[in-house]
Amino acid sequence: MRTFLRGCLLWCVLSGAPAWSSAPPAPAVSPEVQLCLQYLKPSERERAAKALGPLAELPRYRVQLDVDPAAREVKGRVQVEVVARGRPLTELYLRLTPNMQGRRVTLSEAKLGGKPVTLAQPEPTLYRVQLEEPVPAGATAALEVAVRATVPKAEKGGGMLAGLLGGGQRGGGGDHGAFSATEDFVSLVGVVPQVPPMDAVGRPWDGPQGIGDLALYEPSHVLATVSVPSGWTVHATGAPMGEVPERDGRVRFAFAAGAVRDFPILVSKGYERSTTTVGGVTVESHYAARNKAAGQRVLQYASWALAEFERRLGPLPYTHFRVVEAPLSGGAGGMEFPGLITVATSLYRGSAEPSEALSALSGMEGMEELLALMGQGGNGALAHLGEVLERTLEFTVAHEVAHQYFASLVGSDPINSPVVDESLAQYAALLYVEWRHGKAAADAQRKEALVASYQLYRMSGGKDGRADRPTGDFADEFEYGALVYGKAPLLHHASRQLVGDVAFFQALRSYVDTYRFKWACGDCLTRELAKASPGQAKKLEALRVRWWREAHGDADLGKADLGSLLGAQGLGDLGDVKDLQLGMDPETKKLLEELMPGLLGQ
């Protein structure tokens, strides 16, 4: 069976195809599409077809990659087939997000239907093929390229607490380790070139801007095989199709994914796995052996969150869902992809080892005073820090699981309208806390993770502003986090207070059902809320403008000083904050303020 599977998948990857075919789709779905559709629950295939049209006409990717973790190199081939839907195709685009920070992935040997074609590169992350003859509507264009990549070494973080800065981090930007390698982990997010969505006039959507998410694509089918050395494991979106030993001692992993908006590939060594089942979904937690206890708790948190969201937002369409520990950098707590999320290693270790989290900061300039400050709290301060980090871990997992709905299922533009999915994922995570732990816990988490983020940003001199804008319009991650993750999600809280729980949750479910597998707009949820509560339509739109397009954060969220924030979070054991601050130099005060998002659960 494994031998047959390997032959089938490799044939799908390597077989040639005409430049385009005008033959109408066959009545029966092809075997390779049937393989991909195994990733969708049977009930979801019909819903996907209703939203997207014939599933055989979705873009199809055949991926064959070989990964050398020691050399940090990747090579292979990718073929994409695109049906001209609605209008003829005159050009094809491919997006490579790792090239945002340099020429990390190169494409060559491009062939259209087996014939060599020229690849242009109008942007660092974008390739274009001009078609000599337009592909008529209804026909299929097949483009094949060779892929080579050199993966950079992962950035060394500033310790576990520094890794929790999230929205509190200044400057920087980049991909937060999405395309990077350590001795036992290789993240290959974006290594598969994908066709970007097109706007109304036929221009590709913008690529990554150095802040926020990287990209999102049209629902597509993917068949992939990835070869790695023995002892390494491949994690990817999709239904697992088998692990086949190669003659050279390597192992080839195969995956099939249907109607997914992205296809991440991760490679690990020395990881363990725990699994469970929720609503017909196999939930997997993959983690470093030393973090087994945290990895098992992550599985529990992910399962709880998925169960709550399926009950209230509708079923997850996929048969498999994976959570993978990853050495993320730049303050990222997690990353989301269809059917797969990553959670930062710093979060796995922080709650169990808060003292190590603090000691890891000792090499940073100006940190000795801060460590002395924490030391005055004794074991009580460390215990509280551990509790905060554990809450942060659970909240982060819930946030990333919520992204399975916003925007993996209900699509939105992550570059030009990041507020649409990020605010909903953030508020859905708060709802999870409320459903699982009660309203008091959710209210405390709202203050810790959202309000405090905005207030600390303002305390440090940041200016309030419009949250609904492209990622490239934000000055840095600190501003982006405060406005998009801190202030913007509270629009949904205000809307819920206005219309009441019954209308709010009716509208939220209607929003998911209406835009399932489709693209949503910036005010689509507001429209659904207005349908559920017609008498409040004007007020709902006014709230959206106020929270997302105007600057009323201080009036809506209030101002705070460092002392009140510390006291509100139960850090009174640290003593009188004002007196302690008098003994600090300005740099240490600044560092304390910048570290507070991590301490408060950002």
Q: Is residue 287 part of a domain?
A: no
Which residue did the predictor score with more confidence, 460 or 395?
Answer: 395
Specify if 577 maps to a domain. yes
DSSP state of 209: -
Structural domain harbouring 231 = 2-68+73-150+185-261
Residues 321 and 240 in one domain: no
What is the rounded average pLDDT for all residues in the chain? 86
CATH number at residue 409: 1.10.390.10
Q: Which two tokens stand for residue 256?
A: 């099939």
pLDDT at 245 over 60: yes
What pLDDT digit, counting tens, does each position of 335-383 carry? 999 999 999 999 998 877 766 655 544 444 444 445 555 555 555 666 7
Residues 56 and 126 in one domain: yes
Alpha carbons 271 and 184: distance in angstroms, whole number: 9
Is pLDDT at 182 greater than 50 in this prediction? yes
Please answer whether residues 385 and 357 qualify as being in contact, where contact means their C-beta atoms are separated by less than 8 angstroms: yes
Domain co-membership, 398 together with 519:
yes
Residue 227: pLDDT over 50: yes
Residues 222, 104 share a domain: yes
Query: In the numeric block, which tokens belong to residue 561?
Result: 């000083």
Per-residue pLDDT of 102-158, as tens digits, reads: 889 999 999 998 999 999 999 999 999 999 899 999 999 999 999 999 999 998 754
The answer as to whether 179 is a domain residue is: no
How does DSSP classify residue 324?
E
Q: What is the pLDDT of residue 579?
A: 42
Q: Within a domain: residue 587? A: yes
Classify residue 276: in a domain, yes or no. no
The mean pLDDT of 316-333, rounded to a whole number, is 94
Tens of pLDDT along 500-557?
999 999 999 999 999 999 999 999 999 999 999 999 999 999 999 999 999 999 999 9
Confidence band for 490, pLDDT divided at 50, 70 and 90: very high
163 burial type by CB count under 10 A (0-12 exposed, 13-18 middle, 19+ buried) = buried
Does 449 share its domain with 570? yes
Residues 365, 231 within the same domain: no
Please check whether residues 351 and 408 belong to one and the same domain.
Answer: yes
pLDDT at 2 over 50: no
Q: Which residue has the higher pLDDT, 255 or 573?
A: 255
Quick check: is 133 in a domain?
Answer: yes
Phi, psi of 241 (to 5 degrees): -105, 5
Which of helix, strand or coil describes residue 311?
A: helix
What is the distance, to the nearest Å, from the Cα of residue 332 to the centroid of all Cα atoms in its chain?
10
Same domain, 374 and 499: yes
Judge whether 25 lies within some domain: yes
Do both 225 and 332 map to the same domain?
no
- Read off the CATH number of the domain in which 107 is found: 2.60.40.1730
E strand or H helix that includes residue 222? strand 220-228
Residue-level pLDDT at 165: 38
pLDDT for the residue numbered 388: 84
CB atoms within 10 A of CB 463: 12
- Say which range, 261-270, 278-287, 303-312, 344-353, has the weakest mean pLDDT: 344-353
pLDDT at 71: 98
3-state secondary structure of 565: helix
Number of domains in the chain: 2
What does the pLDDT look like over 161-174, one tens digit per residue? 443 433 334 444 57
198 pLDDT exceeds 80? yes
Please say whether the beta carbons of 361 and 162 come within 8 A. yes
Give the model's confidence band at 564: pLDDT under 50 very low, under 70 low, under 90 confident, else very high: low
Note whether 235 and 311 are same-domain residues.
no
Cβ-contact 85, 131 below 8 angstroms: no
Tell whether the model's pLDDT for residue 316 goes beyond 80.
yes
The Cα 595–Cα 600 span in angstroms is: 9
CB-CB contact of 107 with 56 (8 Å): no
Domain end call among 210, 232, 261: 261
pLDDT, position 140: 94
Omega of the bond leading into 482 within 30 degrees of 0 (cis): no
Helix (H) or strand (E) holding 524: helix 524-532
Residue 64 in domain? yes
In this structure, are 29 and 89 located in the same domain?
Answer: yes
* CB 212, CB 173: distance < 8 Å: no
pLDDT band at 389 (very low <50, low <70, confident <90, very high): confident
Please report, in angstroms and rounded to a whole number, the separation of the first and last CA atoms in the chain.
48
Q: Is the pLDDT of residue 251 over 90?
A: yes
Do residues 305 and 256 both lie within one domain?
no
Window from 327-331, 392-396, 501-505 with minimum mean pLDDT: 327-331
Q: Find out whether 263 and 257 touch, Cβ atoms under 8 Å.
A: yes
pLDDT tens per residue across span 70-96: 999 999 999 999 999 888 999 999 999
pTM here? 0.89
Task: Summarize pLDDT for 578-601 with one digit per residue, the tens.
Answer: 443 434 445 544 555 444 444 433
List, as one string, the DSSP characters of 415-471.
Answer: TT-HHHHHHHHHHHHHHHHHHHH-HHHHHHHIIIIIIHHHHHHHHTTPPP--SSS-G
Picking from 261, 291, 308, the residue at the C-terminal end of a domain is 261
Q: Is the pLDDT of residue 17 over 80?
A: no
Tell me the average pLDDT across 199-212. 93
Cα separation, 210 vs 214, in Å, equals 8
